[in-house]
Each structure stands twice: as C-alpha cells, then as structure tokens.
C-alpha cells in the first residue's frame, strides 16, 4: 500500500532530523497511521477531503499528510482555523519532552483529531490510561469516532473545559496541553501526581514556547523551555488575554513611515542563519535565533507583538508601532517605540544574547506571597491572570 511506504519514510525523516530520538517515540509513530485521523483538511488554503476506508486518497493528499505539515481540520464561518492536526515535528518534540513510560496515566488538553492521543496510548501501553478533553462537541464526536475506528476506543474522550482538567480520571503522571495557553491552570497542578510533569505551550507575546514544569513544593512550579511551538489559543475559562497585544494596529494598509537599518546584533544573527531558511513566505513563523531575541523582548516590554508584520512593539492606542523584519526596522507613527526596541535589543545583547532553552522559570498562584520573585538585570517577573512567574537566564533544574 502507498501509505505504508509513506509512513516509513515519514518516520525515517523524523528520526534522521533528531526529532524522534527515543525508541518509544519512534515505535509509536510507526504504529499509528496519521491518515486514519484525517477526513478533511486544508493546507495553504486548499481543501482536501478523504475517507480512511475509501479509495479517494490522492497522492498529493497522502504526501501532505505524511509530511511535516500542520493540517487545518476545522474552520469557522469566517474561514479562520479552529482545530488542526499539529506539525509532526512538534508532536515528536512534545512526546520526547513528556518522557512517557508504560503504565503512566495521561491527560491531554485539546483533543484535535485523536492522533496524539493514539500515539500516547501506544507509549503508555493501554488506551484506557489516556484522557483527552475538548470544549467543542463536534471535535469530541469526531475524535471518539476516529479513535474507535483506528482501534483506540479505550481512550477516554471528554467534552468540557480543558482548564478544569478531569478529576474523574486523575491523578495524572503527565498533563499536556495541545493548545496555546494564556496561563497555568492550577486545577491541572492539583490533578498531578507528586512526581508528575506538566507540558504546555505558553503565550509570550503571541508565541507559544513549550514550557516543561514540575511541582517543586506546594503551590510552586519550576521548569524550562523545550522549544518553539505555535498553537491555536485555548477556549473557555482560560481564553483570557495574556499581558501582550493580540493584534497589530490598523494603519489602513499604508507602508511603514520609515525603514531603518537592522540593529547590529540582529544583523549578525541573521547572517548566521542557515541558507535554506525561506524568508520570503511567513518568515515570522520559522523558529530561529530571531525568536531568542523576541522571547527576551516579551519579558522586557509588555507591548511585544509577533505577526506577519514583524517582531517588535505596538502602542496600546494603536497610533504607532515598530517592527523588525529581515530587511530592516519598520516604523509607523511618531513615538519612543524605536528607541525602546533598540534598548531592549542592547539589553538582550548585554545578557549574552541568551537562547530560548537557557531560561529557567518558576510559577506561583497570583495571590501567593513570593518575596523572592523580584526583578533584576537577568531576572524578569510576569504577572498573568492566575499566576505570577519569575524567568531567569539560566536553565532550571528539572
């Protein structure tokens, strides 16, 4: 069968690129055909409709399914994505970070297509140990059907607000969110076993670094960043805004008022990037050293914004913005934002241009007394809706 050959080369590629590193992750990817969990999807605006049990799979559709592509699987009336099958390299990174073992009990926030739940079921050895929860009843119905058809009907699929977790199935050894989170839900922390692990894509200025956390004492989490991800935002009780702007100002489509030369530090970063990085299309989505700067910027200034317009700062009143792009620093309006952005870049450079994985972090509930959560040159404090967070420029002990 054509799909069998594609599965083999698809997994071989994940292994060769170092994304599926351990035997358990590799075995799971080889055991679970991805196309069993896709019925209709969109890639770059084009729709593909397929039936697992039918013969209407085109070669192009199968090749997309068995490529490193995120597949949009649901859209709303405005054609905006609402659900997807995540990029396989990101799925592999998250499975490696979870460090799953047979017999572990797992909770997934965001059911998606069920593919990730099936992979985790393979790794823990018993589908009944995996619970996946989603707020969208249509997603829940489809996920149940696809998991059952693929032989993973034992997975518990719950309709509900993922922010609340699922006490009925807990406590859990691992809790993983496959949606972009504005904060940590302390309900998840309460449902973790004492030696458990929480993995979530956490919002920093519109980006979702993958944060790996453990309970170090009651009411306190500590951990590190595993890598970059990009997910659709969580719905329900945790759909509250993170403390950064979520959209670019409306300048009526006009071009920047001024384009300045790149800051020298960012110019040097750009020069070191691989030649195969395609900056002509959606460069702002491509994980790179630019994001090392942007993560630090999001800690320095709550006006940090990332989008197709660039990486930079926007004023709350929407009258001005300054964005870094590969071709320069683009300025709209008259304000102190360009000076602020340049100063933030200089501060990042002064800290040694820390990479994403070099930051350690701690979390406590917003109402907790945390006298050691104080800012200094290399330490930043972020206040979210439910948590207060300290981020420091050295990797925390796991």
Catalytic residue numbers? 86
Contacts of residue 307, Cβ cutoff 8 Å, sequence gap at least 6: 206, 247, 248, 284
Joined together, the tokens standing for residue 31 give: 């055991």
Joined together, the tokens standing for residue 116 give: 């990730």
SS3 content of the chain, % helix, strand, coil (to 5): 30, 30, 40
Q: What are phi and psi of 274, to 5 degrees?
A: -55, 145
**Neighbouring C-beta atoms of residue 312, cutoff 10 Å:** 28
Joined together, the tokens standing for residue 145 give: 């059907």
Could you tell me the CA-to-CA distances from 187 to 94, 131, 166, 183 in Å, in that order?
21, 15, 9, 12
Query: Which SS3 state, helix, strand or coil, does residue 385 take?
Result: coil
Degrees, nearest 5: CA angle 340-392-202: 80
Degrees, nearest 5: CA angle 104-235-387: 70
Query: Which SS3 state, helix, strand or coil, does residue 146 take?
Result: helix
Joined together, the tokens standing for residue 367 give: 């109402």
Dihedral over alpha carbons 309, 314, 319, 324 (to 10 degrees): -40
Find out whether 207 and 306 touch, Cβ atoms under 8 Å: yes
C-alpha 93/C-alpha 87 separation (Å) is 10
Tell me whether residue 328 is exposed, middle or buried, using C-beta atoms within 10 angstroms of its C-beta: 0 to 12, 13 to 18, 19 or more.
middle
- Spatial strand order in the sheet of 220-229: 156-159, 130-134, 106-109, 172-177, 192-201, 208-217, 220-229, 360-365, 387-392, 379-383
Query: Which SS3 state, helix, strand or coil, does residue 105 take?
Result: coil
- CA-nearest of 16, 19, 67 to 44 is 67
């Amino acid at each position: 069968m054509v799909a069998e050959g594609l599965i083999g080369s698809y997994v071989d590629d994940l292994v060769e690129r170092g994304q599926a590193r351990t035997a358990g992750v590799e075995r799971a990817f080889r055991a679970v055909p991805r196309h069993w969990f896709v019925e209709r999807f969109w890639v770059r605006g084009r729709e593909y409709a397929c039936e697992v049990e039918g013969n209407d799979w085109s070669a192009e559709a199968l090749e997309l399914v068995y490529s490193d592509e995120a597949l949009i699987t649901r859209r709303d009336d405005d054609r905006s994505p609402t659900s997807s099958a995540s990029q396989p390299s990101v799925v592999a990174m998250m499975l490696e970070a979870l460090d799953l073992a047979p017999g572990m009990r797992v909770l997934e926030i965001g059911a998606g297509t069920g593919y990730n739940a099936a992979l985790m079921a393979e790794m823990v050895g018993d589908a009944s140990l995996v619970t996946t929860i989603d707020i969208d009843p249509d997603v829940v119905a489809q996920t149940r059907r696809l998991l059952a058809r693929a032989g993973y009907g034992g997975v518990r699929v719950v309709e509900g607000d993922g922010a609340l977790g699922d006490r009925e199935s807990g406590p859990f050894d691992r809790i993983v969110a496959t949606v972009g989170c504005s904060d940590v839900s302390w309900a998840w922390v309460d449902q973790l076993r004492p030696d458990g692990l929480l993995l979530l894509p956490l919002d920093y200025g519109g980006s979702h670094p993958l944060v790996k956390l453990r309970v170090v004492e009651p009411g306190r989490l500590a951990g590190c960043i595993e890598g970059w991800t990009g997910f659709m935002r969580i719905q329900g009780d945790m759909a509250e805004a993170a403390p950064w702007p979520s959209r670019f100002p409306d300048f009526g489509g006009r071009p920047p008022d001024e384009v300045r030369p790149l800051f020298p530090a960012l110019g040097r970063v750009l020069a070191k990037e691989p030649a195969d990085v395609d900056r002509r299309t959606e460069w702002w989505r491509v994980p790179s050293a630019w994001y090392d700067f942007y993560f630090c910027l999001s800690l320095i200034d709550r006006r940090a914004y990332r989008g197709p317009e660039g990486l930079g700062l926007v004023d709350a009143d929407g009258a001005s913005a300054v964005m870094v792009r590969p071709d320069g620093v683009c300025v709209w309006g008259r304000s102190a934002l360009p000076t602020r952005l340049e100063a933030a870049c200089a501060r990042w450079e002064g800290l040694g241009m820390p990479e994403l994985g070099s930051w350690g972090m701690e979390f406590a509930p917003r109402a907790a007394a945390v006298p050691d959560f104080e800012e200094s040159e290399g330490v930043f404090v972020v206040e979210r809706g439910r948590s207060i967070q300290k981020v420091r420029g050295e990797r925390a002990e796991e």
